[in-house]
């Protein structure tokens, strides 16, 4: 329940410029991971919350944890690439985008990702 509520705060008003809403969501999710640090759904949303709120180091930490536990989690891999772009580490972003292409294995997706990678080089 708390993971869903926290996600709503982050992906709702938090994502469109409501930092206080993002922080409400992060607090909900932190209460979950304090009890169960292996709750990957909560870790994932904390990573997204870090990205939305500009706390990129925290976003990277959380998203890396999710990807380590769930290497085939396309959403986590994609957000991790975005977090690396936000920190200016384009080489790591390209690495994670390339991994996402392997996970999706679709020529149209790969073409879009290749275009995105070109802008990062």
Give the chain's domains with CATH numbers. Answer: 2-120 (1.25.40.10)
DSSP letter at 16 equals: T
Distance, in Å, from the CA atom of 114 to the CA atom of 109, rounded to the nearest integer, reads 9
Task: Please tell me the predicted confidence (pLDDT) of residue 15.
Answer: 53
Query: pLDDT at position 14, please?
Result: 45
Q: Which ranges of the chain have pLDDT less than 70?
A: 1-19, 22
pLDDT for residue 112: 95
| Ordered DSSP codes for 67-104 | HHH-TT-HHHHHHHHHHHHHTT-HHHHHHHHHHHHHHH
pLDDT for the residue numbered 28: 76
- Residue 75, pLDDT score: 94
What is the rounded average pLDDT for all residues in the chain? 86
pTM for the model? 0.82
Task: Report the half-sphere exposure of 81 (CA within 13 A, side-chain side).
Answer: 18
């Amino acid at each position: 329940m708390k993971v869903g509520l926290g996600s709503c705060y982050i992906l709702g008003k938090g994502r469109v410029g409501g930092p206080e809403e993002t922080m409400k969501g992060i607090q909900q999710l932190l209460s979950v991971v304090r009890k169960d640090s292996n709750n990957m759904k909560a870790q994932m949303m904390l990573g997204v919350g870090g990205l939305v709120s500009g706390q990129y180091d925290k976003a990277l930490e959380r998203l890396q944890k999710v990807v380590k536990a769930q290497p085939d989690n396309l959403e986590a891999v994609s957000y991790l690439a975005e977090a690396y772009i936000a920190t200016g580490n384009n080489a790591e972003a390209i690495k994670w985008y390339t991994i996402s292409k392997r996970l999706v294995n679709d020529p149209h997706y790969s073409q879009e990702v290749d275009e995105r990678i070109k802008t990062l080089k």
